[in-house]
Structure formats: structure tokens, C-alpha cells
Structure 1
Amino acid sequence: MSRTRTRTALLAALALVAGATGTAIAAVPGDAGVAAVPCTVDYTVQNQWDTGFTASVTVTNNNAAKSAWSVQWSYAGNQRITSAWNAKVTQSGTAVTAANESYNGTLATGGSVSFGFNGTYSGSNALPTTFTLDGVTCNVDDGGGGPTDPPDPGGPGGRVDNPYAGAKVYVNPEWSAKAAAEPGGSRISNQPTGVWLDRIAAINGVNGGMGLRAHLDEALRQKGSDELVVQLVIYNLPGRDCAALASNGELGPTELDRYKAEYIDPIAAILADPKYASLRIVTTVEIDSLPNLVTNTGSRPTATPQCDVMKANGNYVKGVGYALNKLGDVPNVYNYVDAGHHGWIGWDDNFGASANTFKEAATAEGATVGDVHGFITNTANYSALKENNFTINDNVAGKSVRESKWVDWNRYVDELSFAQAFRNQLVSVGFNSSIGMLIDTSRNGWGGSARPAGPGATTTVDTYVDGGRYDRRIHIGNWCNQSGAGLGERPQAAPAAGIDAYVWMKPPGESDGASREIPNDEGKGFDRMCDPTYTGNPRNGNNMSGALPDAPLSGHWFSAQFRQLMANAYPPLS
């Protein structure tokens, strides 16, 4: 249940500000010459349980631009803040101070910054009544629509900080039925998953299946009087997936105009229908596209001619920019750009370069960084959320963990640490400090009997890492229908600092690609990385593919994989 601080009668009427020239009164529309509201604060309790809670705070500065900021408030009860993100939060008695981090001190006139925290309480978790920004009293936005209110961030004038907070998430009935039909599948068939719009025909529905409007209508039904997020995967770029074949698309490398007119424009028009204005629509934009421009082009051993073409013609950058611009114009759409995973862009050569490429795309074709609400990592991949048995700072037998064959000089060993660090990198290159990350945990649980109970032997750095790692893939570059994988953390909102949600964007049980060549009219090729007999390429260190046998085309139901994912789930299924 989400709770937002309600404005007191005094603050509803005016904001009193001590200044050199006296008291400023909150502006009322039409009153020329009356001072504007100096700042507004939205304090929201996103989750609450018997002894604890998670809250988010968004502050908007309407005074002169700032290079540093400090927000203060006091609690009426015994609340204690235990951890925080995006701000340095200290507490003395009931008084709380939240100061900027090094990366988000800039606060422009009209600009906003958000931070969050976890806390404990007993008895009543009363909401604070007064906030200050650098000593100046702010009014508090409760969405009441009064004469001093700025646009409500949950209404037509803006967006909430974390769309998943306090909201249900759409359960795709088509996926749910397939899951429930499997033995034991009813244990997870009520979980929310992404709806993949992987070709133009998917907008209206393929082979009698649900189209976009049908999903949105069903989402309204599931929503009822609650808040609800519906998750869409925007996935049809020209020359799609230039480093793979199993997920190639219908549009050729030069068909950017078709992408715009026949794919993005119709989707944007449907999402803008006022009928769907009450939904929180999360779009994850063009999986695997932009990282390919960094890692699989030029003189790199992993380069492909197809990726070189897409970098040269700019259609990945232009296509993503166009999508962000058009979809970002819809007030209740939240764009999250795909950011690969730690086993792809966690290396020094890829980390900063990827953030710069994402910034280039986010400012192409009329888009701005304001059209990007956040980023998603590990989409349709298998990288472990958290490796508990070793860290990047460990040394064994005189060698750093980074020197192990598995880590291979990467700076990150799991997806959570990577997502949090990459978020900071994205802010440093110009994305808004309020961006949040999503992590796809649909297939990264790595449970079952093969899950290590502790660190590996300290004989060598390789025995230490390989014996303790949860991720049991042969190589971190393996991506197709991985043998031994399990369901990961169940979808949940605000699970960690900087993370808006764990999501199941890739519906468990949908194949990554066929194990053998299968003729089709979906534009999908045969990728040897989906063949269990394949001995590899430079992108997976010339190792075996680790793929399951007898897999169907990508996106088609793969019963054997689904059953294995349930059997190896971590946390285990009950």
C-alpha cells in the first residue's frame, strides 16, 4: 500500500519562507508578482510491514539552481532510517537530514531529484508534516489539485518516481495459461511477465492471439481500483540483433522508415488513447541493440559485419531515439532502455563507452534524457543476481578474483552490483539522477542440487571461483536456453538501492532460439549458440554453448525448459 504525505491546512494555503526581504507566499495562478512556491516535496511510503517500511522522496527546486542540496524533516514517532540510496541520510533523534551524493548535487531551477530509504518503526508510522530544502520550507505535493499545487507526478502532468511502487503488475493471460498447464506450473502462473511486441503483426495479434489493445483492455480489468503496471517489450529495430541469428527480426538494416511508421507510430497511438491513461505502462526499449554497437563492431574479435553495418548507418541509435521520443510523449509511459548485463558491458572497455552510446541514442531523433525513466539489465539472460561466495576484491593463491577464467578481468561478478554501479555511470554522463534500474530475474536463480553451499577450494583462484559461483554456465557469454538454469527472485518493487524492481520481462518457458534450423515466416534464423553440439566462437571463449536440446523457435513455448526452470528455482518454489 502506497501512502503519500497529506498537506496540512496551513501548507495548503501558503508556503512561508524566511528570506532577506520577508515572507514569500505561494503563488496562486493569475496573481502576478506573487512569489512562486520555492520547492515541493513528495514523500511516499511505498511498502510497509509490521516493523518496517520503504519510502521515496522527490524534491523539486523552484528557486535558483543549486550545486548541492539538503532536505530536512522530523518524525512525530519513533521511526529510524536504517539504509538509504541516492542521498546521504543522517538522523539525530527525530530529525532527519538527506544531503546529495557526489553525483546528484546539481539541482536546476524547476529540476527534481529523488532518493529513497528503508526504516523501522513501532506503533504508528505517521508521515512527516514539514520539509525544508536548504533551510527553506517547502509545500508538499499530495496531488490535491489546489491552487498552489504543481502538476501531480501521478497524473497528466508527470510520472511517479517508481511506477512499480504500490502497484500490481499485469499478468499476461496467454502466458499464464501455458504455465498453469505444466505440472506444478500453477505455483507461478500468476506472476507478471513482459508482453513482447517483436514484429509489426504483434500489435494487432498473431495467429489469433492477443494484440496490444487486447492486453491493455485486460490490464484495465485486472487493475480495478488499484494502480497497475503493464510491461511491454519494444523489439523490432531494423537489422535487429546484429550479433545473433535466433532473434533476428523482420526489418532489414535500412528499413528505419518502416520501423517508425508501421511499428512505433501505431504503438504510440494506442498507448496515448485516453482509455488507458490510468495504467502505468513500462516499455523496455530494444533489447540487445545498443550494447552491440560497443562490443561487436570494428576491430574487436567479437565484431560481426552486420553490427558494423548498423553502427555505420546509425539506425540503432536513430530507431531507439525515435521510440523514446514518441513513447515518451505519452504521460503514463515509462521508458526503460536495455543496458545489457554485467557479463557483456562490465569490463572497463565497455562500461563507459556503453553509457555514452546510450546518451547518444537518448538525444537522437528529438528524444531527450527526460524521455528515459530508467534502464533494464539482464533481459532474457542468466547472470546471477548476487554471488555470495566470492567478491571482486578477493585474492586467492596470490591472484585476484579478476584474474580467474570466469571473471576474466571484469569489474563485476553479479548483476546487482553491476546495475547499481552502471546507474551511477549513467547519471555521470547526463541522465537524470532519479533514474531507476530494472533487473530481469526470470531465469537467473541457479538453484537445485548444483547450487554451491559455500566458496570453492582455495587451491587456485579458478577452483575458488568455479567451486563457489551460483551461475553454472560453461561461459558467461552463453545466452541460449541454458542447461541447469532456474527461476530467480520473484518480481518485486524497490528491492535494493537504485533498483525500481526485479521483473520477469522474459516470460519463463519461452525459447531463446531453435536448436536446429526451422523454416519460419517470423524472420528468425538459426544460431549455432542454440545448438548443444556447438563448440563456440570468440564471444563465448570458444566453449560449448551449454544450450538445451530440442528447442523451438525463439518466443515459442519450450516445455522442457520451463520444467527445468521450476525444478532449479532459487528461491525454491514451495
Structure 2
Amino acid sequence: MSRTVPKRSPRARTALLAACALIATAAGTAMAAEADVQAAAPGCSVDYAVQNDWGSGFTTAVTVTNTGDAVSSWDLKWSFGGSQQISQGWNAEVSQSGADVTASDVGYNGTLGTGDSASFGFNASYSGSNAVPETFTLNGVACNDDGGGDPDPDPDPTDPPGDKVDNPYAGAKVYVNPDWSEKAAAEPGGTAIADQPTGVWMDRIAAIEGTADARGLRAHLDTALEQQGDDEMVVQVVIYNLPGRDCSALASNGELGPEEIDRYKNEYIDPIAEILGDEKYAGLRIVTTVEIDSLPNLVTNTGSRPTATPECDVMLANGNYVKGVGYALGKLGAIDNVYNYVDAGHHGWIGWDDNLAASADVFYEAANAEGATPADVHGFITNTANFSALKEENFSITDTVGGKSVRESAWVDWNRSVDELSFAQSFRQRLVSTGFDSGIGMLIDTSRNGWGGPERPTGPGAMTDVDTYVDGGRYDRRIHVGNWCNQSGAGLGERPQTAPESGIDAYVWMKPPGESDGSSEEIPNDEGKGFDRMCDPTYEGNPRNGNSMSGALPDAPVSGHWFSAQFQELLRNAHPAL
């Protein structure tokens, strides 16, 4: 059963330190010393967590919680006690003068209601000791003070465990799936990444209880409790079993027929919700990726579009993608420690003008279906199990060559984004304008988008023409941006990390590296997974990939099964390199 404590707003942050009691003027407000503006009565707590310290530098995640009246902007200040020097910050404007540091909001996270939080992070160097700062001020008022001047490090007893935080990854470890880790470690060189956290895929009903080669959901959560210790712990669970699943790609078809929405609800979502809602797991932060490659299909692969399929037309007509996603969001979002991130495709799918607004509208429709509300959506995830480069640094959307925009190149093909980071950040704003909470965060799957190795360009292409310029400089070396199956030349991407860029909650490895996208030829199986020619290296393509070769590796097994040759290639082409 789910916990019964009342939930806060969808992006509220649990106060990890006691709130401060503050004295305001008789009118209940304080006046800024140097400005003729009225400020709300403040109060605050700060969670400052060093996530990685390598002896000469460190990464820190900071969460500031407003325990006083609402504010429309904020400045958090502290002083280092040693030689710490900040080199990079994200989700806040971070400046430093000597030992004194100021972190200011970046607009979209400036408004904090009572109980609301903002999270940001930074990298810094140091020598000698790296002591945690002792005092912080929010808009000039001391934080983490009980009003009598004595720090109170104990959690607020009225703030129950499991209450939603702004960024579930902030200050938390992330679950390492032992089933995947064991396979990775058994590969030559695999121990270098075997301790990385990856997603747990519930890709059929049988996966809930477990199969011969993978533990079930409850067993994963029990193992997560063992890994947790005294820390916060994130567990990443992929919800992936819609009726008529993935109507445009046979390799990832599922076990449920297009009309089996009741089975999806009763035999799949309900049992998952019952397990996740068990009080035993209330101390875990459970991040769900909700139904990969589903809702965007209703926009791009239906109707009169050349990429349309009859199967996607059926799912648009019966509404079961929208109903299924809505039901999952409502049931799982009602659990206090579950954070729903809806899959939002990738830049090479919905980055075009015709697709952006239409996709956001479909997501919003699903978030209001079957009892769900937009408050059940904590954020969105892009590039799940895909290969789109995180950052294309050798060209930008505003570049021109010979009077032609980069958007006119064959590779970009009038897309609004050239890489996944720019897409995730811009699409986040589109989603907010559509009606989602302004605090939603984005995840980006970086498990296979590194594109390193000796073929990685070291600079821009020649300025001969726009195609030469783009093709010579692009990191993403797929034949076509629509190619998605076991791509030749791919490499591991950025390692999982928290709050790496503005609006991004985390880079994650939701797709476990080494697990196949689909078989290179037809392989009978009892998992409902078909054979898709996009996984056949001899396939010459279709309108969805510009009638290009598939770029797929040969000798691949059924989707989700271990593919050693792919794993080895990902290791060789990792960027950053291992």
C-alpha cells in the first residue's frame, strides 16, 4: 500500500536541517539595506554534500530550502575555510571573491514558496583540507539556525521520510544493478565501469517477479536497501510494457496487444505500484522512466506523414498510449517517494518545428488522463537507449557556411537542435509553457552517446560547403540521425552525474551498456519481441531514416540480451575515455 502522509508540491524539497527562526519588522517584512524593495520574512536550511573528492578537487551538490515566506529571487552566500576555488557551476550563477562565494538563482528557479527548494552544484579545486562551510546566508539571513544561535543538524521530525525533493539525485547514491554489473565485470576491461548505476527494466509482466537471469523488482529494492547504508539512495526503474508497444519498431514490440489496456493496468502497473508503495521502501528515492518511445510515435508516425505506420494509427485511434501513460503516472505519482520522468524521445526525433509543440501537447494530454495530473510528472528524460551526441562542439545551430545555415545541412535537416543537451534544455521550456510545473527537471541518457575513439573529430569540418563543415566536425557518426539499433562506432558517454547543466537533474545510464537493441536477424523468443530490419546491417532503410543503411552491428541477440561485441566497442570508443 502507498504511504498516507500528505504530499507537498511536486518539486518541494525535504528540509534536511532544521529551519531557522527569524525576526522581521513589525510589518512582517525586512527592508534590503541598499535597495528600495520589500523582502519576505526569510528562513532557510542548506544541504551541502560533497559528492566526489579526488584529493585536488571536488564536486558538490547544494540544496537550499526556503522555510520562510515565499521569495521571488535568492542569493546564497558562504565562505570557504581553506583554499577552495570554484571553477564551474550549474543551475545557479556562482561567483567567488577570495574565500567568499555567492550563488544566485538563474531565473527559472528563483521563485521559492514556503517549503520549496532549489538545487545546484559546482566543481572546485583545493589543496590541503576541504572542510564543509560552517555558515550560510539566504538573502542576508543565516540558515540552519534554531533561533538561539546553536546549529541544529537533526532532521525536522515533522517532515516525514519519502517527501519529494527538488532533484532526487542531489546528495544521493544511485543503485548499481548487480545483474548488469556481474555481466560487465566478466568482460575484458569491464571492471572499469561495472560499478556504474544503470536502469532496471520492467519490460514485461514476468520481469516484476523476476526471471531465470534477472532478479525481480522487490529483490532489486531489497538489494538497494543493502547498498544504501546511511546515505540517500536513488533506484531507477524503467516502466516499459504499453499495449501495442513501440508501434514503429518491431524489435521492441511487447507482449500486450493494442487493445489490452486492462491487462496493462491490472497485471502490470498495479503490481508495480503495490511493490513501490511498500512502507519498507519508503526511504528510497525511486525514479521511474515512463514508457520509452511511445507518445512521440503519436505525433510523428501517424496520419498522412511518410513515416506513418498502420500500427501507430491504431494506437492513436484507440488512445491506449495516452491512457496507459496517464494511468501509470497517476498510480505511481501517488507514492510519496516515486519520481516520474516521462520519456521525451530525442532531438533527432521531435526536434523539428512540426514536432515540438505537438509532442508537448500529447505529453500534457497524457498527464491529465486516467486520473493523473501534471503534478505527477517530476520531469522528462531524453535520449533513452539512443545515441544522440550530448554536445556537438564543432558547430552550432547559428553557424552559416557560404550563406547557408547549419540547419540546411543534410545532417541537421532543419532541426531546431544539433545535440541532446540543447534539445533537452529548450524542450523543457516548451513543456513548461504547455502547462507543466516550472520546476520540472530533465534527465539525459548518456550511456551510449560518447562517440569517442580515433574517429572522433578534433575540430570543425572544412568550410567548403555546409555539409562538409557539419559532417567533418560532428561527433555523432551515425549514417542518419534516425538510426537507433546497435549502432556501429558508438561509445560510452558521460558518466552518471548530478545537476551537470542548467535544467538538467542528471546524466544517467538508463540503458545498461551491453544490452542489445534488437536482433540482427529473426530469432524466435517468448518475450513478444519481433525482428526489425533496422537491426539488420544489410538493411537499406525506410522514410524514417532517410532510406539510409541501418548502421547496425552484426550478430546481435534479441533486445535486452547481452551483446558482448557491442559492449567491447562501447568501451573502446568511450568519451570521456576510460
Superposition TM-score tier, normalisation by shorter sequence? 0.7 to 0.9
Which residue is 1:131 aligned to? 138
- In structure 2, how many angstroms separate the alpha carbons of the residues matched to 1:52 and 1:505? 25
Which residue is 2:122 aligned to? 118
Matched, 1:151 2:155: no
* AA in 2 matched with 1:553: V
Matched, 1:228 2:233: yes
Matched, 1:425 2:430: yes
Going from structure 1 to structure 2, the CA distance change for 1:274 and 1:5 (only over 3 Å counts) comes to: closer
- In structure 1, how many angstroms separate the alpha carbons of the residues matched to 2:135 and 2:547? 58
- CA drift of 1:6 comes to 4.4
Going from structure 1 to structure 2, the CA distance change for 1:424 and 1:46 (only over 3 Å counts) comes to: farther
Matched, 1:175 2:180: yes
For the residue of structure 2 that corresponds to 1:495, the secondary structure is coil
| 289, 292, 295: which one aligns with 2:294 | 289
Which residue is 1:563 aligned to? 568
Which residue is 2:33 aligned to? none
Which residue is 1:318 aligned to? 323
- In structure 2, how many angstroms separate the alpha carbons of the residues matched to 1:501 and 1:421? 16
For the residue of structure 1 that corresponds to 2:104, the secondary structure is strand
Contact map agreement 2:244 2:253 (CA 8 A) in 1: yes
Matched, 1:75 2:78: yes
- In structure 1, how many angstroms separate the alpha carbons of the residues matched to 2:155 and 2:462? 63
Contact map agreement 2:295 2:362 (CA 8 A) in 1: yes
- CA drift of 1:337 comes to 0.9
Over residues 489-530 of structure 1, what are the superposed CA-to-partner deviations in whole Å (9 max), with x where a residue is unaligned?
A: 122222222222211111111111111112222111111111
Which residue is 1:376 aligned to? 381
Going from structure 1 to structure 2, the CA distance change for 1:38 and 1:267 (only over 3 Å counts) comes to: farther
Unaligned runs of 5+ in 1: 24-36
Matched, 1:98 2:104: yes
Counterparts of 1:164-563 in structure 2, within 5 Å, are: 164-207=169-212, 209-563=214-568
Contact map agreement 2:78 2:137 (CA 8 A) in 1: no
Deviates more, 1:521-530 or 1:428-437: 428-437
Contact map agreement 2:343 2:384 (CA 8 A) in 1: yes
For the residue of structure 1 that corresponds to 2:191, the secondary structure is helix
Between the two proteins, what is the percent identity of the paired residues? 68
Going from structure 1 to structure 2, the CA distance change for 1:40 and 1:522 (only over 3 Å counts) comes to: farther
Contact map agreement 1:241 1:289 (CA 8 A) in 2: yes
For the residue of structure 2 that corresponds to 1:375, the secondary structure is strand
- In structure 2, how many angstroms separate the alpha carbons of the residues matched to 1:150 and 1:98? 29
Over residues 204-253 of structure 1, what are the superposed CA-to-partner deviations in whole Å (9 max), with x where a residue is unaligned?
A: 11235311111111111222222222111100011110111110011111
- In structure 1, how many angstroms separate the alpha carbons of the residues matched to 2:243 and 2:169? 30
Going from structure 1 to structure 2, the CA distance change for 1:89 and 1:266 (only over 3 Å counts) comes to: same
Contact map agreement 2:91 2:501 (CA 8 A) in 1: no
Contact map agreement 1:511 1:556 (CA 8 A) in 2: yes
- In structure 2, how many angstroms separate the alpha carbons of the residues matched to 1:284 and 1:74? 35
The two structures, once aligned, show a CA RMSD in angstroms of 2.9
- In structure 2, how many angstroms separate the alpha carbons of the residues matched to 1:21 and 1:47? 36
Over residues 66-111 of structure 1, what are the superposed CA-to-partner deviations in whole Å (9 max), with x where a residue is unaligned?
A: 7x8122444244788776655667788958473562x56666x657
- In structure 1, how many angstroms separate the alpha carbons of the residues matched to 2:566 and 2:337? 35
- CA drift of 1:476 comes to 0.3
- In structure 2, how many angstroms separate the alpha carbons of the residues matched to 1:4 and 1:76? 22
Unaligned runs of 5+ in 2: 1-13, 31-39, 147-151
Over residues 383-414 of structure 1, what are the superposed CA-to-partner deviations in whole Å (9 max), with x where a residue is unaligned?
A: 11111111111111221111110010111111
For the residue of structure 2 that corresponds to 1:437, the secondary structure is strand
Which residue is 1:15 aligned to? 22
Contact map agreement 2:290 2:325 (CA 8 A) in 1: yes
Matched, 1:41 2:44: yes
Give the alignment's TM-score, normalised by structure 2. 0.86
For the residue of structure 2 that corresponds to 1:449, the secondary structure is coil
- In structure 2, how many angstroms separate the alpha carbons of the residues matched to 1:222 and 1:306? 42
Deviates more, 1:447-456 or 1:538-547: 447-456
Contact map agreement 2:119 2:166 (CA 8 A) in 1: no
Going from structure 1 to structure 2, the CA distance change for 1:151 and 1:143 (only over 3 Å counts) comes to: farther
- CA drift of 1:291 comes to 1.1
Going from structure 1 to structure 2, the CA distance change for 1:38 and 1:362 (only over 3 Å counts) comes to: farther
Which residue is 1:30 aligned to? none
Going from structure 1 to structure 2, the CA distance change for 1:117 and 1:567 (only over 3 Å counts) comes to: closer
Going from structure 1 to structure 2, the CA distance change for 1:362 and 1:245 (only over 3 Å counts) comes to: same
Going from structure 1 to structure 2, the CA distance change for 1:539 and 1:413 (only over 3 Å counts) comes to: same
* AA in 2 matched with 1:16: I
Contact map agreement 1:4 1:45 (CA 8 A) in 2: no
For the residue of structure 1 that corresponds to 2:122, the secondary structure is strand
Going from structure 1 to structure 2, the CA distance change for 1:96 and 1:567 (only over 3 Å counts) comes to: closer
- CA drift of 1:47 comes to 3.3
- In structure 1, how many angstroms separate the alpha carbons of the residues matched to 2:121 and 2:424? 18
How many equivalent pairs are there? 542
Contact map agreement 2:119 2:170 (CA 8 A) in 1: no
Going from structure 1 to structure 2, the CA distance change for 1:17 and 1:83 (only over 3 Å counts) comes to: farther
* AA in 2 matched with 1:545: S
* AA in 2 matched with 1:453: T
* AA in 2 matched with 1:69: S
For the residue of structure 2 that corresponds to 1:70, the secondary structure is coil
Give the alignment's TM-score, normalised by structure 1. 0.87
Which residue is 1:27 aligned to? none
Which residue is 1:572 aligned to? 577
- In structure 2, how many angstroms separate the alpha carbons of the residues matched to 1:556 and 1:502? 24
- In structure 1, how many angstroms separate the alpha carbons of the residues matched to 2:125 and 2:534? 51
- In structure 2, how many angstroms separate the alpha carbons of the residues matched to 1:225 and 1:99? 30
- In structure 1, how many angstroms separate the alpha carbons of the residues matched to 2:144 and 2:433? 30
